[in-house]
């Protein structure tokens, strides 16, 4: 089902992404066999790999990035679509399709950098283990698998690049900022300095409005740590994220505080009783000392709109067009509502209201955020719908969804259209990784 033969479906970058990234259409991913490295390469471990968004961004940035091991596992399903696509595109060597909870650290090779878009969960710590001196995180929470791997590796990676939802900085609602404080404190205890930024891809010219938290961490024995200046200069101008995503001076004073106590103390007491998180949309932590500020994007380069990535209408399958009969159902789903509804189980009557969504979507701006429920023909408030030049309404095709995340065309070919949409709803915008990776490559020694 998952063919690596691109003769039927070309896996090229569309022209707007080529212009934005200043690269070739023929995205030369590493061949599907064992990756070999030479001195100066940056060996990468990719966790929660999905269909390879981090890998694409890294490899587009520099040939120095070599993914030597990857892991992708979808729980509660027999079909491992993401892993199958990953293997089809990159080869099976060094790829693990096992539950990361069961993978021994000894099975993971040495690397210079670990990357991953770890799931958003409750990161609380249950207790401090009396005998081992370690920590016990909430069962099944995959952040603690990253922690476990970093702690157990004889030579932990010097660099980490991680991605999560933007609400991470304020979670959970009952104890704002606790989850992020646990992550920062645990990384500090493992010897990492950490910088972060909430980035909206569209604010830097990319074709989708997708806000995510990006974390870049580095150890004291790394090239980048030795380049550090003051926390203020690092956040605003000199840091990896500041160079990749320039910001305007908001003239807001830097906020500074300490994350104190053992991890279980942080879990139970951090910011307790406060209504807002102390973490702003940019910051850095070193030695448990946090410096954070609110920043605004500064970008004047090329920009890609939803209209720029659309495929020719004669290439759109008929099933993606909305019939005249179905159009009222879409208009209702997208429209504003104020109506009485009845709970089918309890019979309880309640007032329901919601605002109107744009219908159709504006093709002269970046798209709204892709969600996992984007696929399928049934009317939905959240699915994208555009109006063609001929006046017809249609949904977005899998290729167009791939382009909104700046993937090569047909990267997810082999899965059903619904699953391809789901996979893109779970993916990241590869252009974000690419911009960060370019700065990492530029500021690390080729002969490290």
8 A C-beta contact, residue 415 and residue 89: no
8 A C-beta contact, residue 241 and residue 248: no
pLDDT digit string, tens, across residues 360-372: 999 999 999 999 9
Backbone φ, ψ for residue 189 (5° rounding): -65, -20
Strand pairing partners for 212?
165, 199
- Which tokens is 62 given? 């520099």
Q: At what angle do helices 178-189 and 143-152 cross, to 10 degrees?
A: 10
8 A C-beta contact, residue 14 and residue 20: no
**Distance in angstroms (rounded) separating the CA atoms of residues 58 and 70:** 14
**Distance in angstroms (rounded) separating the CA atoms of residues 307 and 97:** 37
- Which tokens is 255 given? 């906020």
Q: pTM for the complete prediction?
A: 0.93
120 tagged catalytic: yes
The whole-number pLDDT of residue 351 equals 87
pLDDT digit string, tens, across residues 164-217: 999 999 999 999 999 999 999 999 999 999 999 999 999 999 999 999 999 999
DSSP 8-state symbol, 117: -
- Mean pLDDT of the chain, nearest integer: 91
DSSP 8-state symbol, 420: H
pLDDT digit string, tens, across residues 261-313: 999 999 999 999 999 999 999 999 999 999 999 999 999 999 999 999 999 99
Which residue is catalytic, options 14, 23, 24, 120? Answer: 120
- In the block, tokens 């969504």 appear at 357
Over the chain (448 residues), what is each successive 10-residue block's mean pLDDT? 50 92 72 79 97 96 95 89 95 95 96 94 65 52 93 97 96 95 97 98 98 97 95 96 91 90 95 96 97 96 97 96 96 90 88 90 98 96 95 97 97 96 97 97 80
């Amino acid at each position: 089902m998952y063919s690596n033969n691109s003769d039927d479906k070309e896996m090229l970058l569309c022209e707007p992404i080529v212009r934005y990234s200043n690269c070739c259409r023929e995205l030369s991913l590493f061949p599907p066999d064992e990756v070999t490295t030479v001195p100066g390469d940056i060996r990468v471990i990719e966790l929660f790999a999905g269909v390879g968004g981090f890998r694409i961004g890294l490899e587009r940035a520099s040939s120095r990035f070599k993914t030597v091991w990857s892991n992708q596992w979808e729980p509660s399903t027999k079909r491992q679509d993401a892993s199958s696509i990953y293997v089809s595109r990159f080869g099976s060597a060094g790829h693990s399709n096992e539950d990361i909870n069961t993978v021994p650290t000894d099975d993971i090779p040495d690397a210079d950098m670990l990357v991953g878009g770890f799931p958003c969960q409750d990161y609380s710590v249950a207790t401090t283990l009396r005998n081992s001196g370690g920590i016990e995180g909430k069962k099944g929470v995959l952040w603690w698998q990253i922690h476990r791997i970093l702690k157990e590796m004889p030579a932990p990676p010097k660099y980490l690049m991680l991605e999560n939802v933007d609400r991470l900085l304020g979670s959970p609602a009952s104890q704002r900022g606790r989850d992020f404080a646990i992550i920062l404190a645990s990384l500090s205890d493992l010897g990492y300095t950490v910088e972060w930024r909430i980035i909206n891809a569209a604010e830097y010219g990319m074709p989708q409005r997708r806000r995510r938290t990006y974390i870049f961490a580095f150890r004291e024995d790394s090239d980048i740590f030795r380049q550090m200046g003051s926390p203020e200069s690092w956040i605003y101008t000199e840091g990896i994220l500041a160079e990749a995503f320039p910001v305007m001076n908001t003239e807001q004073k830097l906020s500074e505080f300490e994350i104190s106590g053992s991890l279980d103390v942080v879990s139970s007491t951090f910011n307790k009783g406060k209504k807002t998180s102390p973490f702003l949309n940019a910051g850095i932590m070193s030695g448990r000392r946090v410096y954070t500020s609110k920043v605004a994007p500064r970008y004047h380069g090329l920009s890609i709109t939803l209209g720029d990535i659309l495929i020719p209408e004669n290439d759109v399958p008929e099933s993606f067009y909305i019939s005249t009969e179905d159009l009222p159902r879409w208009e209702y789903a997208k429209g504003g509502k104020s109506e009485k509804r009845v709970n089918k189980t309890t019979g309880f009557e309640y007032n329901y209201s919601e605002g109107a969504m744009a219908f159709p979507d504006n093709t002269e701006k970046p798209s709204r955020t892709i969600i996992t429920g984007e696929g399928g023909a049934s009317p939905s408030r959240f699915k994208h719908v555009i109006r063609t030049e001929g006046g017809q309404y249609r949904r977005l095709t899998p290729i167009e969804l791939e382009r909104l995340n700046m993937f090569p065309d047909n990267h997810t070919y082999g899965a059903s259209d619904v699953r391809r949409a789901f996979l893109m709803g779970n993916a990241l915008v590869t252009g974000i990784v690419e911009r960060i990776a370019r700065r990492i490559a530029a500021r690390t020694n080729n002969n490290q």
